[in-house]
A and B are shown apart, each in its own frame.
Chain A
Amino acid sequence: MKRYAAHTALDDVSLDIPKGRIFGLLGPNGAGKTSLIRIINQITAPDEGEVRFGGEHLQPKHISRIGYLPEERGLYRKMKVGEQLLYLAQLKGLTSREATDRLKRWFIKFDIKDWWGKNVEDLSKGMQQKCQFIATIVHEPELIILDEPFSGFDPINANLLKDEILELKAKGSTIIFSTHRMESVEELCDHIALINRSKVVLDGEKKAIKNQFKDNSFTLEYTGATPILPGGYEVLNALEIDPGLGRMHVRIGEGGSVNGLITSLLGQVELRSFQENIPSFNEIFIKTVGGVVDADFSSRS
């Protein structure tokens, strides 16, 4: 529980973040994501409740095992890149030698060796983001918290970053990933939680959540006249997308089944494709968050 003067930022939020997975933390602006992340980073303390880190009560000593890339990020502009990363790594508890060795490896890996002696203000924004990412993970944290990590990256560097994130996961790191970009959630996350208006409204494995939002509807394409379906199947819409080629959305209701639908279609049309409608996270997000907004509006009127 975290309260500020005027409002409650987090209300009875309880989340289990599974080890070694990528955990997507979603929610509209102002939902309380940053408040939660700041509590995990011990930047602020909760007014009630506690955070456990690998079974232990979260303490200052855990700081060196957490890496944090905030959404609003920056570097000292007038400092050399190498010196600066060395400083940040040492603040996370690395010795000067360890930090130098590891940083050099990262600089080689990212092919940015000649940036070491440059001033930060001479780097482009994307270059700075890269440095910042290195600073986040150079101390090899067990828990990595990335808040909108892809903002400011071009597609090539975004892919590079994505690969790094997956590699970190493969090495056993747990990653909390907060973003508004649903396509990267689809791609990367194993587990998601959606926070809206200070409360957790969705929490679970990606697959389970998708299943939860399935409406048992299917899309099929066919050639031939519009088929007529028996009871138990609701046609949501049907249209001719090309001459002779029709597309139909069907929801399977009570008494219907996938096989039954296919059987009844086979006699009438030639099936070109048949596919279950699995909702995207974009839809799930809008449905969940938007739904609450609607409910709120109607209750007010």
Chain B
Amino acid sequence: MNKILLIIQREYLVRVKKRSFLLTTLLTPLLITAIYAVPALLFLNGNETKSIQVLDETGTFRQKLKSDKEYAYTFVNGPVETAKKALLTSKAAALVYIPRDIVQRPDGLQLFAPKTVSIGVQNDVERVVQEEVRNQRLANAGIDVKVVEDNRVKVSARTYSLSAEGEKASSSGVATILGYAIAFILYMTVFLSGSQVMNGVIEEKSSRIIEVIISSVKPMQLLLGKIIGVGLVGLTQFVLWILLTMLISSGVTSLLSSKFESKAKTEASVGARVTDAQQVQAQLEAQNPITKVNEALANLPLGKLLVCFLFYYLSGYLLYSSLFAAVGSAVETPAEAQQLLFPVTIPLILSIAIISFVINEPDSKVAFWASIIPFTAPVNMMARLPFGVENWQLALSMALMVLGFLGTTWLAARIYRVGILMYGKKVTFKELSKWVFYRG
């Protein structure tokens, strides 16, 4: 036992002391934060103001197309050919041509730009023109625009998850994202840690230190020590990732959150006809995505998710890393390992390949089996969990998981003890299966 501790200690320290460990530990939380913070920041700050020229033959859009922080509209005179030529010499980003008969022929709207017209400009202009054209057509038909405006309601369902304890606000969007995120993290860590175990085994074999070590400890002790040591490295990294990500993103989130609020407020006060203060408040909260996400997150069983994550990480890791170790023991270089690794990585890749299906239909048969079979269960059960999984399914999956990793560890240990002393032999699957039944 003492020797296993020594081995764990070495395997752990050697890896944690590496510079690459420090780098990935620090950079990953930054990257995760950046993935959601950067688009949000871009959205909030926008770009510099773009000047857009408008050739309005109807003369009714001067009030509608109002310059704001994003776009500065200047109205030019026709004809359109002159305006187009003028655009090329000016610094304006685009020219909007609104023909006289726009109300009759709405597809007459034209946009010109020296480069490609940006989708943002196009959407904005189209929205404004469309609204004006519609209003005028309504007016022509004798319908009061104000009536229409007041009756434009937006329906947005609030979703709740119903259980014996009561109802809670839920969000299938949050569950989906969380499902993907956890499953991918699990997949990556199992894959990376598994490869680390394999490379560790290959290193010992190819540097020929293996014989010295197994004259001191049993091969099984070495294998276990290595697997546990590398597993702890993965766990350490994971815990650090969570802590750092929380630290960095909580700062960024509060910053973004306040910006969202101020932006929403200005937008609401500019264009809204809503006068009721309460309604403004409700709208604000509904518009702020971060409030929404936080609410949905708070209502998820986060404790259960965390416990399950640890369980599936550990069991999935044990299951796969022992197989990775068996492959490592049978070869002398990582390159040789590739073809033997195939049957080990296939179920792992498969489990990530079916994940989108499982998340879209978390209660389907495929999702059920994928989260029960030990080889695909870690990734797919974690993907299903945010949507809620019945307890008996979870229990069955966990029980099979334990059996699964005990089985693969046994199998791997049989191959490992023969493989580590085998040199200069091209190993086939037939050969490997023979090793399983060797005595002694």
Chains A and B bind each other: yes
Contact of A75 among B207, B216, B218 (CB under 8 A): B207
Q: Taking the nearest CB of chain B, how far is it from the CB of A136, in angstroms? A: 8
Q: Are A135 and B212 in contact, CB atoms less than 8 angstroms apart?
A: yes
Confirm or deny: B50 has a beta carbon within 8 angstroms of a beta carbon on chain A. no
Q: With a CB–CB cut-off of 8 A, which chain B residues contact A60?
A: 218
A43 CB within 8 Å of chain B = yes
B421 touches A74 (CB 8 A): no
Distance of A79 Cα from B213 Cα, bound (Å): 15
Decide: A43 and B211 in contact? CB cutoff 8 A: yes
Contacts of A68 in B (CB 8 A): 211-212, 215
A132 shortest CB reach to chain B, Å: 8
Q: A76-B207, A78-B14 are in contact. List 5 more A-B contacts (CB 8 A).
A: A45-B439, A45-B440, A88-B212, A90-B6, A91-B216
Closest to A64 in B: B216
Most A-side CB within 10 Å, residue of B204, B209, B214, B440: B209
Contact residues in A for B14 (Cβ distance below 8 Å): 76, 78-79
Q: How far is the CA of A78 from the CA of B19 in the complex (A)?
A: 13
B137 at the interface (CB under 8 A from A): no
The interface size bin for chain B is: 20 to 34
Q: Is B91 an interface residue (CB 8 A)?
A: no
Report the minimal beta-carbon distance from A151 to chain B, rounded to whole angstroms.
Answer: 13
Interface centre among A46, A60, A87, A135 (most CB of B within 10 A): A87
> In the complex, what residue of chain A is closest to B210 when comparing beta carbons?
A74
The residue that B215 contacts in the complex, of A41, A45, A46, A72, with Cβ under 8 A, is A41
A63 partner, pick from B208, B215, B423, beta carbons under 8 A: B215
Contact with A along B334-353 (1 / 0, CB 8 A): 00000000000000000000
The number of chain A residues touching the other chain, given as a range, is: 20 to 34
A73 near B208 (CB under 8 angstroms)? yes
Identify which of residues 44-75 in chain A touch chain B, using a CB-to-CB cut-off of 8 Å. Answer: 44-47, 60, 63, 66, 68-70, 72-75
B135 to chain A, nearest CB (A): 74
Asked if A5 meets B215 with Cβ closer than 8 Å, knowing A72-B208, A74-B208, the reply is no
Q: Roughly how many angstroms separate A79 CA and B203 CA in the complex, as a whole number?
A: 12
In whole angstroms, how far apart are the Cα atoms of A68 and B216 in the complex?
9
Flag if A47 contacts B440 (CB, 8 Å): yes
Asked if residues B213 and A91 are in contact (CB atoms below 8 Å), the reply is yes
B245 to chain A, nearest CB (A): 30
Given contacts A76-B203, A87-B10, A91-B6, contact A70 B421 (CB under 8 A): no
What residues of B have a CB within 8 angstroms of the CB of A88 in the complex? 212-213, 216
B207 touches A70 (CB 8 A): no
User: Among the listed B6, B215, B217, which residue makes an inter-chain contact with A70, where contact means beta carbons less than 8 Å apart?
Assistant: B215
A-B contacts, 9 of them at CB < 8 A, read: A5-B434, A60-B218, A70-B208, A73-B209, A74-B212, A76-B209, A87-B6, A88-B216, A91-B216
Chain A facing B: main interface SS: loop
Tell me the chain B residues, 346-384 only, with Cβ under 8 Å from chain A.
Answer: none
Tell yes or no: B3 within 8 A of A by CB.
yes
- CA–CA, A70 and B440, complex, Å: 20
Minimal Cβ-Cβ distance residue in A for B438: A5
A38 and B215 alpha carbons, distance in the complex (Å): 8
Is the pair B3, A91 in contact by a Cβ cutoff of 8 Å?
A: yes
- The listed residue (A46, A73, A75, A91) touching B217 by CB distance below 8 A is A91
CB-based contact B216/A70 at 8 Å: no
Scan residues 1-25 of chain B and give those whose CB is less than 8 A from a CB of chain A: 3, 6-7, 10, 14
Measured CA separation A258–B207 after assembly (Å): 57
Tell me the smallest distance from the CB of B42 to a CB of chain A, in Å.
Answer: 43
Contact of A47 among B208, B213, B215, B439 (CB under 8 A): B439
B-facing mask of A83-108, CB < 8 A → 1, else 0? 00001101110000000000000000
What's the nearest-Cβ distance from chain A to residue B139, in Å? 80
A27 smallest CB distance to B (angstroms): 19
A-B pairs, 4 with minimum CB distance? A74-B208, A74-B207, A91-B216, A45-B440
CB distance from B290 to the nearest CB of A (A): 45
A76 to B208 Cα, complex, angstroms = 9
The answer to whether A77 has its CB under 8 Å from any CB of chain B is: yes
Report how far A42 CA is from B3 CA in the complex, Å.
16
A46 to B14, CA, bound (A): 35
Give a binary string over B265-283; 1 marks a CB under 8 Å from any A CB, 0 the rest.
0000000000000000000
Closest residue of chain B to A75 (Cβ to Cβ) is B209
Q: Who on chain A is nearest to B216 by CB?
A: A91
Separation of A91 and B10 alpha carbons in the complex (Å)? 11
Docked pose: A90 CA to B3 CA in angstroms: 8
Is the beta-carbon distance between A63 and B209 smaller than 8 angstroms? no
Give bound CA distance, A68 to B211, whole Å: 9
Q: Beta-carbon contacts of B190-217 to A below 8 Å, as 1s and 0s?
A: 0000000000000110011101111111
**In the complex, how many angstroms separate the beta carbon of A42 from the nearest chain B beta carbon?**
8
Hey, which chain B residues are within 8 Å of A90, CB to CB? 6
Find the B residue at minimum CB distance from A63.
B216
Which of chain B's residues have a CB closer than 8 A to the CB of A74?
207-209, 212
Give every chain A residue within 8 A of B434 (Cβ-Cβ): 5
Q: Which of A42, A47, A76 is the most central at the interface, judged by chain B CB atoms within 10 Å of its CB?
A: A76
Nearest CB on B from A68, distance (A): 4
In the assembled complex, the Cα of A81 lies from the Cα of B215 at a distance in Å of: 20
Within 8 A of A (CB), among B399-440: 421, 423, 434, 439-440
Q: Which of B7, B211, B216, B440 contacts A72 (CB 8 A)?
A: B211
Q: For the complex formed, measure the closest distance between the CB of B432 and the CB atoms of chain A, giving whole angstroms.
A: 13
Give chain B nearest CB distance to A30 CB in angstroms. 13
Identity of the chain A residue whose Cβ is nearest the Cβ of B421 in the assembled complex = A43
Query: For A45, what are the chain B residues with a Cβ–Cβ distance below 8 Å?
Result: 439-440
- Min Cβ gap A153→B in Å is 17
Nearest residue in B to A44 (C-beta to C-beta)?
B440
CB contact list, A193-212 vs B, under 8 A:
none
Residue of B whose beta carbon sits closest to that of A87: B10
0/1 per residue, A208-229, Cβ < 8 Å to B?
0000000000000000000000
Min CB–CB distance A72 → chain B (angstroms): 5
A70 contacts B439, CB within 8 Å?
no
Residue of A nearest to B222 (CB): A91
CA distance A135 to B215 in the complex (A): 12
Docked-complex contact A73 and B216, CB < 8 angstroms: no
Question: How far does the alpha carbon of A72 sit from the alpha carbon of B215 in the complex, in Å?
Answer: 13
Residue of A nearest to B204 (CB): A76
A42 to chain B: which residues have CB within 8 Å? 215
